Structure 1
């Protein structure tokens, strides 16, 4: 059974911060090295939502956050306003249960509803689970940028994937 997905509220910030911090400390999914607190995530949620972008959470029956997804601007210039970059993170003990897929599907649906034309994923090239998930949902791998990041004392390659969300010929 898939966990319910809803829009995040400030009370979810602690759970989101825990997932984020676990990824910071133990994975190359996030290329940051600084952990965040719940207040930081409250500001992030509010900033996204005020700008018209969602923060979605998958929750268990006790309303604990199992994962989260969001999307926002791909680049800051007006010409990119129909393209969004997304992120999806799942709590470590919940991976492999379909939560990431459900969150990504929900983010794609929300992006379509808001008029986004292309969704971009920038994924560490060694993250085969995430790459497979995105390809399963129709994302095409469009390139790899070698050694553009570093973490844990090694260079990281960035795989770029994209999904065209509609077939409109003009914006």
Structure 2
């Protein structure tokens, strides 16, 4: 199998990204929002990532955007500037084809290139496939927070996982 071609998202990808995002809102526990987004919101999100120097990556198949991934600041305080939290979403037609693994690997490389030290994942605790994917790429479970969210009329537990992206002993060291 050929490795998927990972690209930087363009404005033309935003409708496909929106379709994937809204499917996850409506049908999954991957996003804990209950209100669908609109194209202007996705455009503002994309511009915001670009303004921070953070990537939005996409992979295409014959029908368009098959998946996307990005990361942003984990917490908005200076002391957390070396840590990012990521998101990966795959179109239902493309799930199980290895795209999430390829996107996550590329995203981790981008984070290293930005000088980040740790990448965090917040995953609904029942999402065994996502937890396995993250473990495969070196993430470890660091916390489980019971009943911190809700969707579809039930409480949701949140599992935090993280991966160390480099071996710097101190933040000031070159990476």
Question: Smaller-chain TM-score range?
Answer: over 0.9
**Distance in 2 (alpha carbons) for counterparts of 1:2 and 1:89:** 18
CA contact (8 A) 1:149 1:157 kept: yes
Q: CA deviation at 1:61?
A: 5.0
Residue aligning to 2:9: 8
Unaligned segments of structure 1, at least 5 residues: none
Find the aligned partners of 1:60 and 1:93 in 2 and give their Cα distance.
10
Per-residue Cα deviation, 1:128-155 (whole angstroms, up to 9, x for no partner): 1100000000000011000000000000
Tell me, which stretches of 5 or more residues in structure 2 are unaligned? none
Alignment of 1:20-169 (within 5 A): 20-60=21-61, 64-169=64-169
C-alpha displacement of 1:60: 2.2
Query: Which stretches of structure 1, 4 residues or more, deviate above 2 A after TM superposition?
Result: none
Q: How many residues align structurally?
A: 170
Task: Tell me, in whole angstroms, the C-alpha distance in 1 between the residues paired with 2:54 and 2:143.
Answer: 26
Q: For the residues of structure 2 that align with 1:163 and 1:151, how far apart are their CA atoms?
A: 27
8 Å Cα contact 1:138/1:163 also seen in 2: yes
TM-score norm. by structure 1 comes to: 0.97
